[in-house]
Structure 1
Amino acid sequence: MDRVIEAYTDVTAEGKKSRTPAKLDKWLTASGVILALFMMGHMMFVSTILLGKDVMHAVTKAFELDFIFDGGVPFIVSIFVAIISAIFIVHAILGVRKFPTSYKTYIKVREHAKLMNHKDTSMWMFQWISGLVMMFAATIHLYIMFTQPQNIGPYASADRVVSEHMWLLYMVLLICVEIHGSVGLYRAAMKWGWFDGANPKETRAKLLNVKKLLSYFFMTLGVITLLAYIKIGIEHSDNVGEKYVPTSHSKVLEK
């Protein structure tokens, strides 16, 4: 195991330990916290479909700044997605440093984790595995959102889930992202001692409970939300491509 630890320790030409890994870890934490908070907000946004199609449509248009530009500007969403994508790429590059560099190293780390039987170590194992999955799955989703910002809405999003067969990708993302995010926030708080207080051990237990609550809440909300989009997508499968018209607008058109 000493060789595994040495593989992740930078040493300068003078034989002194470098502070670069610690600095990179701070950037990793900062980008991770931003992405975790964003994903919580993102889940709250997509789950507005549970409040009705009109509500989800209104929130979508708000992101397009329709209160400033008549009808909204979808390209504004692309700009926002580009910013999140840049943070995601930085976080992924910094996170790769934590990945086992070979299968042999992975086996050693896994054996060490089993020997320790430590929850935090097991969570770290899930962190890099889920991170590896998201490097591919999240990239697909971000690309679609960047290139098709106009296809976000009650019908367009549901059509993508069902008619474009994206439900499996979103299910994988749901599991990886929501748990990765909650575990990441917990591990960051423990690593940097943000809430240590007078009794770090007691704080650890409390933070672990908060982490569990966040995971259960967002996983449950995510599954219910995905099922709602699947239901709408199935009902709308004969009219794929049709954009949603809010109730207030449809009444005006009827008049």
Structure 2
Amino acid sequence: MFLVQPSIHPAIATLAPGFRALSLSVEAAAIVRPDVAPAMLEDACRHVQAGGPFWAEAHLAAWADTFRAFGAKPQRTPCSAEALRKRVLRDGGMDAIDPLVDLYNAISLRYAVPVGGENFAAYIGAPRLLRADGSEAFDTMKQGLPVNEPPEAGEVVWCDDAGVTCRRWNWRQGVRTRLDASASRMWFILESLPVMPLSALLEAGHALRDGLLQMMPDATVDLRLLECPVQGEAT
């Protein structure tokens, strides 16, 4: 069974007490129902426009406070879930991009939770959530050209042995590990703060798993809950 084993540095517990996440390791298969994702995305956009879920505003406000705590400015670089929600409320919906991306965006919108999707075949080592020292590489694009934009010292990042894969916790994904429907091994991470009910986080993870299996019936999916270790515990 394919299994991603992410780790969370104990310093994250100090910054965001009660942080928890769901990790989904996916051995992909042929996509036989690509229509599942745009339908879920359209339904999630309607749900956002109707005001749901009830914890959305409080959860996104908690993420904004957490971003400020490590020096980010959420007005300029909001968490991924807030950026998606603002876009739907402004534009009335969201265009389809890619079946896999549409699916995890749909889950993020419906549950007001940051969701990342990664092409795990591009990883060097296991994912780690930690505070950067500022020397790590981060590959992105600027004016159509590849550039390296290292994180600031103290910034919360996801990284592997080759560098940062997502800056400012869940704000911007790097190019190297970007996911699309051609990936054979995938990793998804759903990240929540305590104001979001644990039952809702689990429901979101199950909805993502079910959507994946509807699209790819022969895929295998492993779902695991991650919680912050405290100082002195193993990561």
> Looking at both structures, which has the greater relative contact order when contacts are Cα pairs under 8 Å and sequence separation is at least 6?
2
Q: Greater helix percent: which structure?
A: 1
TM range (shorter): under 0.3
With normalisation by structure 1, the TM-score equals 0.24
Larger radius of gyration: 1
With normalisation by structure 2, the TM-score equals 0.26
